[in-house]
Amino acid sequence: KQEVTQIPAALSVPEGENLVLNCSFTDSAIYNLQWFRQDPGKGLTSLLLIQSSQREQTSGRLNASLDKSSGRSTLYIAASQPGDSATYLCAVSMDSSYKLIFGSGTRLLVRP
């Protein structure tokens, strides 16, 4: 059974730092991997989607990488800002049914 783990569970950094959030999964036969952002009391917003054949995706200050063989993905946030404070969730899909398996998230606080 696929399990998705995110470490650390919480992270606090000063504004301007570059940071890396980690996601690992136990079954490497994934269909794709997504990173989401969740603000307190809100739903999820999709940030980046990486297909199983891709190595990375970029959007603005965000870069997500995927290493299927080692069961790992990282989300890199450049020049962090207080507005980046949120919980970041990683999720994998095992097939084209679009069902997602989520990690528990990393709660990020960027201090001014």
Partner 1 sequence: DVKVTQSSRYLVKRTGEKVFLECVQDMDHENMFWYRQDPGLGLRLIYFSYDVKMKEKGDIPEGYSVSREKKERFSLILESASTNQTSMYLCASSPTEPQHFGDGTRLSIL
Among 23, 30, 32, 64, binds partner 1 (CB under 8 A): 32
Closest CB to partner 1 among residues 42, 55 = 42
- Taking contact as CB under 8 A, which single stretch among the options 11-19, 59-67, 70-78, 98-106 is the one that binds partner 1? 98-106
Query: Does position 41 bind partner 1 by CB under 8 A?
Result: yes
CA distance 111 to 88: 16
Query: Does position 100 bind partner 1 by CB under 8 A?
Result: yes
CA distance 69 to 74: 14
**Type of residue numbered 37:** R
User: Could you tell me if 4 and 25 are in contact, meaning their C-beta atoms sit under 8 angstroms apart?
Assistant: yes
CB-count burial class (<10 Å; 0-12, 13-18, 19+) for 8: exposed
Query: Does position 45 bind partner 1 by CB under 8 A?
Result: yes
Query: Does position 43 bind partner 1 by CB under 8 A?
Result: yes
Among 42, 55, 61, 111, binds partner 1 (CB under 8 A): 42
